[in-house]
Structure 1
Amino acid sequence: MKFGLSCSTVLGHSPAARDVIRLVQEAEAVGFHSILVGDHVLRPLAFDTSSYPAGIFDAEMPWYDPFVLLAAVAGVTQTIRLGTGVSVVPYRPPVLQAQAIATLDFMSEGRFFYGAGVGWMREEYEALGVPFAARGQRTDEYLEIIKSLLSGKSDGFHGSCIDFPGGHIHPLPVQKPHPPIIIGGETQAALRRIAKYGDGFHINWKTLAQLERLLGDLAVHMADNGRVVSSLYKQLAATDIALVRAAKNDLADYAALGVDEIIFSPKHDSPADGIEAVKRFADEFF
């Protein structure tokens, strides 16, 4: 079993840039497989706290541009994989995203993966001038363009949300045909998206029974696309280490179900607390 670290909330509300660098270097040194960065663009003045996961959203946490932060991380690490966990696809034009993905993969020498999802915060969509209601369709169309460009194709795309005349990006990513696309989400629409576009998935922590049911549902969508669930890279994310600790004796069963990586996604009050928690997690599970 591999372990990754989401660094979005681990360092508290006011980390310095050097704290981020220290965290990722420490994570690499103690044996984490990957570093992930979540994606919010701004703090809305108000938002609907009844909408999941708004109830657990901490607006005071720093929300970095994931592509910029990971570019910095690429320059101070050597082996740890780097990924968005997850990037909200409709927030950024697809051609610009494809260029950022390809550049990150180039600069990290093939260590990047693209975690992609639809997002959930209506107010953030509205602030960015992106229609919220059509976010699923827009995500699918953007993914079509991103995958095509990353694969070196020049095909145009004409959808209900975007018209793209075609073109090339250069340099292309190191990984072929493109960096892994890890789809976030677990609704039926998300499962269909995983089956159609994903090289893997990123979902919240599940009990073994819950995971078995989800994989069963996903298998139907995968079969519709001529694919099998075993071909996917599977990430489970846990914000609460107690969930992982309680299942410590069952990790072999999670692996037997195909889970490749557990993403430790903690929230702490200061850089010192966060870095110590990362070390403790490594001591306990590695």
Structure 2
Amino acid sequence: MRVGVFHFPTDYGIAPAELAAALEERGFESLFVCEHTHIPVSRLSPFPGGGELPKRYSHTHDPFVALAFAAAATKRLRLGTGICLVPQHDPIVTAKAVASLDMLSGGRFEFGIGGGWNKEEMAQHGASYETRFKLMRERVLAMKALWTQEVASFSGEFVKLEPSWSYPKPVQKPHPPILLGGETDITLKRIAAYCDGWIPRGGAGFDPAVAKTRLARAAEAAGRDPASLSMTVFRAPAEAKTLEAYRAAGVDRVLLEVPDLTREEVLPLLDRLAQLAAG
């Protein structure tokens, strides 16, 4: 089982390049970064975690820029979005950002995606909460076309792409892994339909063996080999016993949390997490 981390890269915390280098030095497999493009001050959507919205949600760097700095500071570390809010991103621009990052990093990018929860945030991007998953699907399919076709085109309800050239193409073939976040049965159907892996959230109530069975059944129902779909557990508990249970259940990767703190606060934490990961 591979052990990586997830992190909100903020303007007040440890720099992405320094964090990435420290992770690689300590043997971590990957760095996944979170994103919010902005947070409307109206705050109409309640925070899913309850209580006040943490400061980090309105202070994140652009994930692709942050990961570019992380890529330049490392050689082996896998680099991912965890997650990219696809309904808030133009698919043509995003496809080029993904392909460029994958090429310049030597094929180390993983595209974690999701639909989002903040209604007013996505509305200011012209996306509707009610149709965000339909929009996400079409944008992902259009990006796949741009990554894999010399002359790419796509026609859907929300996305229209006339025959076009778009380079570079990703190093990973046919494209970087697409990992979808969420926990519902509908999420699993979407994964089996057009993604390469699942990012469920760990913690209380999460049973890795049950999750693996659910993913396998969704794959089989869609006519796919269950082995073709990976599982990356987001916010896995930093507990040796729990991580061993995940490993025994066949979880492919876990992501431990690295908080939005300064360099002086983060580096000692990484030392402790590295000892746990080496288990």
Q: Is residue 175 of structure 2 the alignment partner of residue 178 of structure 1?
A: yes
Match among 262, 271, 274 for residue 279 of structure 1: 271
Residues 1:52 and 1:208: Cα distance change in structure 2 (over 3 Å)? closer
Between the aligned partners of 1:60 and 1:118, the Cα distance in structure 2 is 19
* Distance in 2 (alpha carbons) for counterparts of 1:158 and 1:172: 21
> Which position in structure 2 is the counterpart of 1:31?
27
For the pair 1:225 / 2:222, whether they are aligned, the reply is yes
5+ unaligned residues in a row in structure 2: which ranges? none
Tell me how far apart the structure 2 counterparts of residues 7 and 168 of structure 1 sit (CA, whole Å).
34
Who is 1:14 aligned against?
12
Shift of the 199–56 alpha-carbon distance from structure 1 to 2, 3 Å rule, reads: farther
SS at 1:244's partner residue?
A: coil
Comparing 213-222 and 90-99, the one that deviates more: 213-222
Change in 2 beyond 3 A, CA 1:250/1:265: closer
- The CA distance in 1 between the partners of 2:207 and 2:46, in whole Å, is 24
Aligned partner (choices 185, 190, 200) of residue 187 of structure 2: 190
Q: Secondary structure at the match of 2:36?
A: coil
What are the residue-to-residue correspondences of 1:1-286 with 2, within 5 Å? 1-8=1-8, 14-15=12-13, 19-48=15-44, 50-53=46-49, 55=51, 57-61=53-57, 62-206=59-203, 210-238=207-235, 243-245=237-239, 248-286=240-278
Say which SS state the counterpart of residue 79 (structure 2) adopts. Answer: strand
The one-letter code matched in structure 1 to 2:7 is C
Q: Distance in 1 between matches of 2:55 and 2:163?
A: 38
Query: Which amino acid is the alignment partner of residue 6 of structure 2?
Result: S
For the residue of structure 2 that corresponds to 1:265, the secondary structure is: strand
Deviation at 1:212, TM superposition (A): 3.0
Q: TM-score, normalised by structure 1?
A: 0.88
Q: Using the alignment, how far apart are the partners of 1:86 and 1:231 within structure 2?
A: 21
1:6 CA drift (Å): 1.4
Deviation at 1:124, TM superposition (A): 0.7
Q: Which amino acid aligns with 1:46?
A: S
1:5 match: secondary structure: strand
TM-superposed CA distance for 1:123, in Å, is: 1.5
**Gap change, CA 1:56 and 1:272, over 3 Å in 2:** farther
Count of aligned positions: 277
Assess, with a 3 A threshold, how the Cα gap between structure 1 residues 55 and 201 changes in structure 2: closer, same or farther. farther
Calculate the TM-score normalised by the size of structure 2: 0.90
- Rounded to whole Å, the distance in 1 between the matches of 2:38 and 2:245 is 39
Does the 8 A contact of 1:44 with 1:123 survive in 2? yes
